[in-house]
Amino acid sequence: MTASTTDAVRAPLRSSSSPMVHALVAFIALATVAFHLSGPLGPDVSWLITVSERILDGGRLYIDILEPNPPMAGYLYMPPVLLARALALPPEPLVVLWTVGFGLLTTGYAARLVVEHRLIARPELFWPVALLLFLSAWGEDFAQREHFAAMAGLPLVLALALRASGIRPARHVWIVAGIAGGFMLAIKPHFALPILLGALYVAWQRRSIRPVFAPEMWLAGSLFLAFCAATLLFYPAFLSNILPVATAVYIPDRRGLWVLLSIRPAVYFEAILLIALIGFRQHIRMSPLLGVMFAMSLGFFLSYLAQGKGYTYQILPGVALIGAFVLVAFSERRDGPARPIDAVLPVAAAAILAIMPMIDDVAQWQKRQPLVDAVRPYGDGLRIANITPDLTVGSPLSRVVHGELVNSPPSLLMSISAWRLRMERHPDPAWREKIDAFEAAERLQLRADLLARPPDIVVSSRDGFDWLEWAASDPDLAAILARYEQFATVWFDGYELVLLRRPGLAPAT
């Protein structure tokens, strides 16, 4: 579709506000809430809820709470955590509602603009398809930071699409888009890539560089700079305590390109991208909305590659956007009269893409249930120590059993990165000295955590790498752990965990 005409702008379609569309949207939202209330949230989200709680309890971020990401990670879940405390409720259900509400707001706002400006032939499809892909299709990574960034990106997609159509966005549109862009950048600076590629697509369409400097771009950049300044002002420890170890150990610990391209969600992206290029490449040029979606999906993919970790949640914004591109493009056929399948098939396909991660999520719950079953008999309020690099071992376990994670960081992330760097990168002596020092510091932090809040249960592993032996290389830490007795081994998501308990701890009667 080319630029919208004046008549199109003045005559919004009514079909997208039909009772059927609203009923479908309501069903999708309620089904998403119901599913995520039926099991634990993912490990990263569970840990960041704990971070919010520790901040409210007086913990100092980057000093007492060793979260390796910028402050937005620690504050993203603060509103539902605050409300949970006011209502004396657990925060997890409110985090689910917080996420679904955010998704309804951003997808609904974007859908309204699609209808108002007739940016696609079947605007009534946009809201349910977007809601399924951007809200529901996240499985274990539901409510992740990338999840919020993907949903926040939709108003920016629409603002750029309007500019590519030759339409000057209304003030509220570019303000919302700019705030959304700033929010994305505060979550991760890597999201400058999708924003930039979207703006460059508009510049290409308009044959002008001016869209790169549109008001929403200035607003997004200004908000990000303000966020950086606030981080330096209020959290100088991020620079002194986090960045040195991140730049020396965590960031260089990258997976190879073949690994990044071969994880299952990346293969999904590549397959859908191939379908897009073979079957719908003409839509990139002809439809401003679809063109922006395509360009920004490539930006999210580049963001995933730039991070180099191969984590599933880092590729999912790109999968959602390229998936929405193909499904909406399919409904834009021009070679004959409209058919019911042009509307039904995109929604059905989006529903399948949403259900598949939920099935995987249930499988993950089942794999991790033996650990919960081994710990739960010892009652509520347990202090749990995680002596593994697997964040999942401590979170959501400590939250599911109503206990407390004693570790300052979520897991031994820096130590596993140090181990891999020594094995795979063969660092020079100066770099290796830094790596060894940061690994030793994480071991000392573990010792301090166990002394400050003696755990009732210690969860570790000897499968593949003996983390108890690693801890015992510090004599004081070895003495602490020697007082604990092993009471169980459990198979956990592909490897075996060793569970220790303090003397005198017995299952609750």
H/E element holding 153? helix 145-164
Provide the token pair at 33: 């809430």
Query: In this structure, what token pair is assigned to residue 257?
Result: 């390109």
Within 287-435, strands assigned E span 383-387, 404-405
Contact at 8 Å (CB) between 409 and 67? yes
State residue 295's pLDDT score: 98
Residues 181-230: tens digit of each pLDDT: 999 999 999 999 999 999 999 999 999 999 999 999 999 999 999 999 99
Q: What is the pLDDT of residues 447-498, one digit of tens each?
A: 999 999 999 999 999 988 999 999 999 999 999 999 999 999 999 988 999 9
Report the distance separating Cα 407 and Cα 43, nearest Å: 14
CA distance 202 to 196: 10
Round to whole Å and give the CA distance between 316 and 389.
23
Question: Cβ neighbours of residue 397 under 8 Å, at least 6 residues apart?
Answer: 368, 371, 372, 375, 384, 403, 459
* Residue 17, pLDDT score: 57
- The predicted pLDDT at position 336 comes to 55
Contact 42, 143 (CB under 8 A): yes
Task: Quickly count: other Cβ atoms within 10 Å of residue 45's Cβ.
Answer: 27
Q: What residues of the chain score a pLDDT lower than 70? A: 1-17, 333-340, 509
Specify the residue for token string 């499968």.
463
pLDDT of residue 464: 86
Six-digit token string for 273: 């991208």
Query: Considering the entire predicted model, what is its pTM?
Result: 0.94
Give the pair of three-digit tokens for residue 5. Answer: 């005409």
User: 490, 463 in Cβ contact below 8 A?
Assistant: no
First to last CA, the chain: 68
Token pair for 100: 């679904």
